[in-house]
Chains A and B, each alone.
Chain A
Amino acid sequence: MSDSEFTDLLKPHYNDAVNYCRALCSGSSISEAEDVMQQSLLKAFENFDSLRDKASFKSWFFQIITRNFYNSVRKPFWSRFVSLNSEEGKIAFQVFEDELFEDNQMLIAALSRISKKERAAILLFEIGGFSIEEITRIQNEKSESTVKSRLSRTRKKLKEFMVMLETETVRMQRFASQRSTNDLYHETSEIIKEIKSIG
Chain B
Amino acid sequence: MKPLKSSKKLNPLGEIMNLSDAFNKYKNTKHDSSFENLGDWLANNNSKPKKMNSLYKIAASLIFVTLILIACTVPVQHEEEIGYMIKGIAPNVDTNFKFNYKFKFEEVDLNPSQVSISQLLIEHEEAGETNSEKMTEVVMVLPKADFAEAEDKKSKLSGIFDFQSLEILPIEETVERTVFESALHTFDLKVKEEITEEEITVSINKFLHENSNNKGKANLKTDKEGNRFVEIEIVFEENSPVDPKRSIEGLYKELTPENNFIHEEMSEEELKALKLREIKKQEMKKHKEKNN
C-alpha spacing A106/B13, complex, angstroms? 13
B287 within 8 A of A: no
C-alpha spacing A90/B46, complex, angstroms? 11
Q: Return chain A residues, CB-CB under 8 Å to B31.
A: 14-15, 18-19, 95, 100
A contact patch SS = helix
The answer to whether A90 and B35 touch across the interface, beta carbons within 8 angstroms, is no
C-alpha spacing A18/B32, complex, angstroms? 10
**Given A11, A100, A107, which contacts B23 in the complex, CB threshold below 8 Å?**
A107
Q: Return chain A residues, CB-CB under 8 Å to B17.
A: 159, 162-163
**Given B25, B30, B39, which contacts A4 in the complex, CB threshold below 8 Å?**
B39
The number of A-B residue pairs with CB atoms under 8 Å apart is 92
B43, closest chain A residue (CB): A3
- Nearest-neighbour CB distance to chain A for B42, whole angstroms, equals 5
- Nearest-neighbour CB distance to chain B for A26, whole angstroms, equals 11
The answer to whether A126 and B20 touch across the interface, beta carbons within 8 angstroms, is yes
Q: Return chain B residues, CB-CB under 8 Å to A91.
A: 37, 40-41, 44-45
The answer to whether A23 and B22 touch across the interface, beta carbons within 8 angstroms, is no
B53 within 8 A of A: no
Q: Return chain B residues, CB-CB under 8 Å to A175.
A: none
C-alpha spacing A58/B244, complex, angstroms? 93
Q: Return chain A residues, CB-CB under 8 Å to B32.
A: 15
C-alpha spacing A161/B19, complex, angstroms? 11
The answer to whether B47 and A19 touch across the interface, beta carbons within 8 angstroms, is no
How many of chain A's residues have a CB under 8 angstroms from any CB in B?
A: 37
Q: Return chain A residues, CB-CB under 8 Å to B35.
A: 11, 14
B48 within 8 A of A: yes
Interface string of B12-37 (1 = CB under 8 A from A): 11001101101101110111101101
A28 within 8 A of B: no
A129, closest chain B residue (CB): B27
C-alpha spacing A61/B90, complex, angstroms? 80
The answer to whether A104 and B29 touch across the interface, beta carbons within 8 angstroms, is yes
**Given A6, A127, A162, which contacts B42 in the complex, CB threshold below 8 Å?**
A6
Q: Return chain A residues, CB-CB under 8 Å to B23.
A: 107, 126-127
A166, closest chain B residue (CB): B13
C-alpha spacing A103/B23, complex, angstroms? 12
The answer to whether B29 and A101 touch across the interface, beta carbons within 8 angstroms, is yes
Chain A 125-160 residues near chain B, CB threshold 8 A:
126-127, 155, 158-159
The answer to whether A90 and B29 touch across the interface, beta carbons within 8 angstroms, is no
The answer to whether B16 and A106 touch across the interface, beta carbons within 8 angstroms, is yes
The answer to whether A7 and B39 touch across the interface, beta carbons within 8 angstroms, is yes
B47, closest chain A residue (CB): A46
A163, closest chain B residue (CB): B13
The answer to whether B29 and A41 touch across the interface, beta carbons within 8 angstroms, is no
- Nearest-neighbour CB distance to chain B for A87, whole angstroms, equals 8
Of all A-B residue pairs in the complex, the 6 with the closest CB atoms, nearest first, are: A93-B41, A126-B23, A18-B31, A104-B26, A46-B48, A166-B13
